[in-house]
Amino acid sequence: MSQRGGARLAVVGAGSMGAQIAQQAALSGLSVALQDISEDQLERARRSNRQLLERRVAKGRLDAAYLEAALGRVSLTTDLVQAASGADIVLEAVTERLEAKREIFGRLAAFSKPDAILASNSSTMGVSQLISADCRPERCCNLHFFYPPLVMDLVEVVKGPQTSDETIQRAIRFVRDIGRTPVLVKKEIPGFIVNRILHMATQEAYRLLDSGVASVEDIDTAVEKGLNWPLGPFRLGDLTGLDITYNARQHMYETTGDPRYKPSKQLAAKVAAGELGRKTQQGWYSYPIEVKQ
């Protein structure tokens, strides 16, 4: 299969992750179908991708004509069958909830091409948790992109217990062909590589907060200035979404039984209050809506 220009990608879920993954592939010349059950969400994805790429044009990093061509390579649809049935690679990027992902993979098994790669963008769940035998486990894997996908270079390619070597080779080639750097996780483990390490570091930050050792602001400043992180753990949480952070930790806790992964009480309270970070204008910090002049 020729990946560049010839392969067709379907992305299921048009949230920030799915929308930007689709656009990154389109920037590299692939035809992409971006599917979501919500037409409003698809329109938000289209507007957001245009705005992000227009900033590159304004900075002289992207040609305006190429911007239009890349946007045009992403087709939007609410029809899952239409999006996935002709795709060489189908990437699930829906909410980080086990049942939602299982439902998607169950449907994909019925109408995806026999040789299509079925992949999940989950940050914590191995693909073996999401599929049935009908999905042909040998063609399934994780392709874990990092937020924001239009900026972040890394993709974790995770081999499931029954994933074939051919599938992994194709997945790695796909990641490279869309201008990203793959790392291979040879066997499933909750959290994979990056999040497993990141969770331990950020969990300690939450423990410091919950125990009253230091404030959100001072912990962030200490990590940014002392460890040279571009964002402290709380600013990073606001950027990625506190609901995503909470769900990932809860899944790790339930999967491993390790109390070190149990979500922070203050994190749980933020999620329960609907204060999810930048996307709700309130998280650990406040983000007033900018008024355009």
Active site residues: 123, 144, 156, 195
Q: Do the beta carbons of residue 151 and residue 178 sit within 8 Å?
A: no
Q: Other CB atoms closer than 10 Å to residue 119's CB: what's the count?
A: 26
Handedness of CA 219, 289, 19, 273 (dihedral sign): positive
Provide the residue type at 139 as one letter. Answer: R
Query: How many Cβ atoms from other residues are within 10 Å of residue 174's Cβ?
Result: 27
DSSP state of 277: B
Dihedral sign, Cα of residue 190, residue 152, residue 99, residue 109 = negative
The position carrying tokens 């406040």 is: 286
C-alpha Rg value of the chain to the nearest Å: 19
Provide the token pair at 20.
């930007």
Compute the distance between CA of residue 46 and CA of residue 71 in angstroms, rounded to an integer.
Answer: 8
- Assigned token pair, 183: 């790392």
* Side chain identity, residue 5: G
Q: Do 28 and 21 form a contact (C-beta atoms < 8 A)?
A: no
**Which amino acid, one-letter code, is at 290?**
E
